[in-house]
A and B are shown apart, each in its own frame.
Chain A
Amino acid sequence: MADYEVARLAKSKVDRRRFLKRAGAGAAAGLAFAPQGVAQQAGSVEVTGPVKPGSDFMLDVIQSLGIEYCAANPGSSFRGLHESILNHGGNKNPELLTCLHEESSAAMAHGYAKIEGKPMMIMVHGTVGLQHASMAIYNAYCDRVPMFIIAGNILDANYRRGNAEWVHSVQDVAAMVRDYIKWDDNPVSLTHFAESAVRAYKVSMTPPYEPVLLVADGKLQEEPPEEKNLRIPKLVMTAPPQGDTGAVKEAARMLVAAENPVIVAGRVARSQHGIELLVELAELLQARVHDQRLRMNFPTSHPLYGNPGVLPLNPNVSDADALLGLEAQDLWNFTHKMTPVNRFGMESQSVMKPGAKIITVSAVELNHKSNYQDFGRYVEADLAITGDAEATLPALIEEVKRALTADRKRAIQERGKKVTEANAQALRQHRELAAVAWDASPISTARLAAEIWAQVKNEDWSLVSWDRMMSSWPTRLWNFSKYYQFIGTHGGSGMGYGLPAAVGAALANKKHGRLTINIQPDGDLCYAPGVLWTAAHHQIPLLNIMHNNRAYHEERMYIALLGAKYDRSPEKSDIGTALKGPNIDYASVAKGFGLYSEGPIENPVDLGPAIKRAIERVKKGEPVLLDVVTQPR
């Protein structure tokens, strides 16, 4: 604290001297403003004494929040903080991660938070950097992920030194992303910065988790503090909101009374404890759990795992007489069927049994916004509980235990046996389906998943990529049980998330010694491949295996579908969607960024040995990339 006081005194001395020099020069030139040369002369005033910039205090505040990393592409509007991280903070907590694109910074923070359970800091220019980062911020917002964004800006027009600082300055920094962040502020003093930084962290980490943004003004960063008695407010985390006691009791009564309750789990589990709670509830009720695979919510080998063999985002829940949606995404879409794209018009109807009850538990309703439509269609729930699902589960479990009578327990056990048998049958079917096209080239996605699994199943592994684009074969063939073994998806369907999120997740896994696996779609990699260099530079161990199917296949399917609807041949549907002519050589791309790489691998027989070699490198602390040429899905 004494340092800041000394700095304040030194600052006042500087300002007096600068004023006298400027006044003299301005008078001599006869101008209302000082010419640039004079301004430079004024700026060259030497300062003696132990002066510290305001950014040192800002960093002290940030360090008090326990933030481990700061991802940034360098920018002049936050150069003060950048310098303080290196020289005042010793580049520790946070450690600076050199990024080649702001979208990579934000997506790295996205992946990191889903493993580590807390935000990474990113720094961006208030204008161009935030514009670059905005799509990845939107993804994080839709995926309910915390992120601590510092945006540099120079609010005081008199402090801007040239064109670059004018085009990098803005009146309202957060305006362009305010629709998809949870909170922001534009502090005008260091005291204000400290309070808002602590508040921002707390807001970001209160369910529903979301990104927050704080502006770091250039003048506040670079000048010595003017304020007395600077202090860092105490951070006390908010307990996550729990559902209303009476409503939870009613939900338990409805679930116990149901003949066939079904649970749909969206973003429920934040930890191993969250998985354990959901298992306990499912077992008490002997209810099958449809995991939307937006987080690792439920063990895939559990007898009550409800969606082997079906698209995880569209489970069949038509047999349920009570449906419990826990932080479910787009629950309406499960309970209704709609006119598909290959038909004209749009009609919808419920698929639920008459009289079936719908219960929802979600904290997302605490943070609805208007403009972006990520909230999905309105769910006509019979009981809607506003509260964080993981925080509400203990109370719901207790109420279910109280409501269970001996008769109900007997009936419940019978339905559990049916789900168990259906699961075992589905698993056998998966294996038979995986055998089809086993020796094909391009390599089938089932073969790819099986070959990876054979090499990683005895490791402490973490799959950090979504698997729907490869027909969910890992979900269907692997044994997922730990919270870090699957982290869901991009959230906002913004492409370019995969690779940087994997690098961020791998960074979080590094200190735990986990083997991080990223099955990387080719189209996604091409958005900002420079993050490969970031992984190499910071020695982030990561096994990247390309799912190189050489096209944006989903979009091609849509083009073919719409054309055929009007009797037009799909033959041209590869125009604008295929990534051929020339084929992209991802092994060379990775090598250029400093990674060990192999490929293209087209013969499935070569796959297992290549994965084995790659894992040996990853275990030594390297990121690697294998380019595998695959079937579309």
Chain B
Amino acid sequence: MMRTMWIVLLTLPAMWAQNTANGKKLFEAKACYECHGWRGQGGLAGARLAQTKLTLQGFRNVLRNPPPSNMPPYRAAVLTDQEVADLFAYIQSFPAPEPAKNIPLLKD
């Protein structure tokens, strides 16, 4: 029992890292980047995902039952709850952008 607990505690950070890495794989395999961009920047074809204000539950709700749009429904048969969590972890890892005022080409 004690040994099992140690294993769980030692592997916990690695499990989180694996989840993000799996989320990255899913982001490509499930074609998320097609509409939302490789960094989740969004565009006319899909909403911005980077720096999302959604919670994991809200994110899952949108995936399972998207609003009327061209967003495919990703139900459990296509994306399990664990995979949704992995995907969410990856999306949350997108770096925050510089403010436009700090980018010379976007100043005026």
Contact = CB atoms under 8 A, between A and B. Distances in A.
Interface of A: 311, 337, 339-343, 428, 431-438, 440, 442, 444-446, 450-451, 453-454, 468, 471-472, 477, 553-554, 556-557, 560-561, 563-565, 567-571, 573-574, 631-633
Interface stretch (B2-10, B11-19, B40-48): B40-48
B43 to A, nearest CB: 4
A564 B68 contact: no
A437 B69 contact: no
Contacts of A343: 68
A571 B43 contact: no
A311 B44 contact: yes
B38 A436 contact: no
B38 A437 contact: yes
A560 B31 contact: yes
A589 to B, nearest CB: 25
Contacts of B44: 311, 468, 471-472, 633
A471 B35 CA distance: 10
B38 A435 contact: no
Contacts, number: 129
Interface string B55-79: 0000000000010111111110110
A497 B43 CA distance: 24
Contacts of A311: 44
A440 B78 contact: no
Contacts of B77: 567
A631 B48 CA distance: 14
A427 to B, nearest CB: 10
B4 to A, nearest CB: 34
Given A342-B72, A451-B105, A557 B97 contact: no
Contacts of B46: 633
Contacts of A574: 31
A202 B46 CA distance: 45
B50 interface: yes
A632 B69 contact: no
A437 B98 contact: no
Contact of A454 (B39, B75, B105): B105
Given A434-B106, A436-B42, A438-B98, A557 B37 contact: no
Interface residues of B, number: 37
Contact of A561 (B70, B75, B98): B70
A541 to B, nearest CB: 25
B1 interface: no
Interchain residue pairs A-B with the least CB separation, the first 10: A564-B72, A471-B43, A437-B39, A431-B100, A437-B41, A436-B41, A567-B77, A633-B43, A435-B97, A471-B44
Contacts of B72: 342, 560-561, 563-565, 570
Contacts of A560: 30-31, 34, 72
B99 A436 contact: no
A375 to B, nearest CB: 25
Among A451, A454, A472, A631: residue with most chain B CB under 10 A: A631
A434 B45 CA distance: 15
B26 to A, nearest CB: 10
A436 B97 contact: yes
B90 to A, nearest CB: 15
Nearest to A457: B108
Given A436-B39, A437-B97, A557 B106 contact: no
A432 B37 contact: no
Nearest to A557: B34
Contacts of A632: 33-35, 37, 45
